[in-house]
Structure 1
């Protein structure tokens, strides 16, 4: 490990040459402790290591343990390091460990934002982890977060500004874990001159296998702090993880279908209800 550390510090572009050896190193107790010590010493190749381990199904277990152990040191894992391993679990359809690792990684402040939807008040905290909000780069709109802390009553939440152009596909998403049962999705929203040539909606989709569970349409027009809700059911069929997405119904970027106006989503929540 000492020689590998020296090599990667002097020639960081040689990391890929070392990649195949990590599973063997981590499989022994001494090797694991040596790697952990290097990571705790803030080795500059830390991020590359977790990215590589997250892409190897055989390395997800050791990577998970390294993150847990680093969490008890003075050099805790970063959001990007956690995201590498969480994403690796999701790609392997191993959703339970992915969600548990996400919950472990939350800070005291982030734990207060928990629920079926994480950060439903759209506080401006972005970890990049799949169970947190992920904003997609779309040329036809802008999305900004201004949580209730320090924001005015009218502009707190997620603001979506449409730029008078076509908008296709998802703009905002996060993975959620909803056990079978009955639910109510609720949203408090305001809008100014909102024109939607094709539907704008929140969708709840089963991620594996892919299928739509619910669609929550957002109305056009101008309104202030309107309360909207939708009841839906997650059936007993196997659906271990869902994807919550804000998206449009446009299937082609035709200039006949231009989205205009501003939408402010003050709060979005999912609560379990009695069936």
Structure 2
């Protein structure tokens, strides 16, 4: 009978502990009533109390609660961090520093202790230590990037911070993209962000399209056209440099990209876009193939941002077609990016033909059009099955030539 009672009590304790763990985050008070020794429930309860900004006179009771929990769970880094936070709010900074250090000795990835230590490292100009702890924090707790808002912008504003951050980013930490997202949100740090990407590229470190695009787009939004274009040029691979021109990759030889100054190509209903060569145009070694599916086509997305200096130009396309039916037209439009206005258009004929050249002359004024965008469109405004696009159109080359008046 005694053995049965002991076993029954043990099973009940296990069940209560399991139930306590289930609700420890959503209802820590209930969790503690079910199992008072649940350390995680104690931590959640204290966090909720601290989030409510308790009065100074309530802090000793919170400290006593944590002291009791730590007597049972001396190795619990999270409880140690919470106790240190209480000490800090009570004005005992030295005790808090020591407590956070103890928390990190227990667990080097304890998030609250890392965040406090990062802030104090920056305050004391220990940039290297701060970045080392940022790396530890964000590898273990990626979502904590939200709590570091503005930190990377502040780091790149100093010579030491810039150098340390560049060195860390060169080894491709998983949080690298978040750095450039933060910098892109701070117009005052965009120049530093551009410089950082160019330095990484020149040092041989990989530089992602998304990172470059994030800063370029931010510069364009700020009206800093030349800086945006220089960042594009400064992070090009040798293969990209070989494809340079007023229109980058005018022969559609390289891959599509997310960079605004390269071809951005996205699928849309009613047509497919492929690169040549293709069986339908076996004699074309390279280029862009648009295959229509016999349905209305309203939206297309093949575009590139340009940075043309003022002057006289000619826009020209080398195009072929096979049984192309374009009921509302198909055209390439060159427009000022902002404010938007069309400055040249190339209308693509229907039918079947090979190697046609279509061109249009235009002039860019000295002001009012620092960036341009070239893109393909149909004339469809409202989709109707009477306006079904069919056949294939192949663009061998789309280029701009200067000095034609």
Please tell me the TM-score bracket, short chain as reference. Answer: over 0.9
Question: Quick one: which of 105, 125, 128 aligns to 2:255?
Answer: 125
Separation in 2 of the partners of 1:147 and 1:121?
Answer: 12
Structure 2 match to 1:79: 209
Give 3-state SS (helix, strand or coil) of 1:58's partner. helix
C-alpha RMSD over aligned residues: 1.8
Gaps of 5+ in 2: 1-130
Structure holding more strand per residue: 1
Structure 1 match to 2:314: 184
Separation in 1 of the partners of 2:367 and 2:235?
Answer: 29
Tell me by how many angstroms 1:155 deviates.
5.6
Say if 2:176 is the partner of 1:46. Answer: yes
| Higher CA-based Rg | 2
Q: Which runs of 4+ in 1 moved over 4 A?
A: none
Question: Quick one: which of 155, 158, 163 aligns to 1:25?
Answer: 155
Structure 2 match to 1:251: 381
Q: Deviations over 1:84-139 (max 9, x none)?
A: 11111112221110001111112222112111111011014223210000013211
Tell me by how many angstroms 1:51 deviates.
2.3
Tell me by how many angstroms 1:21 deviates.
1.8
Change (3 A) 1:33 1:273: closer
TM-score by length of 2: 0.64
Q: Deviations over 1:225-266 (max 9, x none)?
A: 112222222234421010101111111222222111100101
Give 3-state SS (helix, strand or coil) of 2:150's partner. helix
Which structure has the higher relative contact order (CA within 8 Å, separation 6+)?
1
Separation in 2 of the partners of 1:64 and 1:155?
Answer: 36
Question: Quick one: which of 163, 185, 192 aligns to 2:293?
Answer: 163
Separation in 1 of the partners of 2:287 and 2:204?
Answer: 34
Q: Is the 8 A contact 1:168 1:252 kept in 2?
A: yes
Change (3 A) 1:42 1:139: same
Gaps of 5+ in 1: none
Q: Is the 8 A contact 1:25 1:31 kept in 2?
A: yes
Give 3-state SS (helix, strand or coil) of 1:22's partner. helix
Equivalences, count: 273
Structure holding more helix per residue: 2
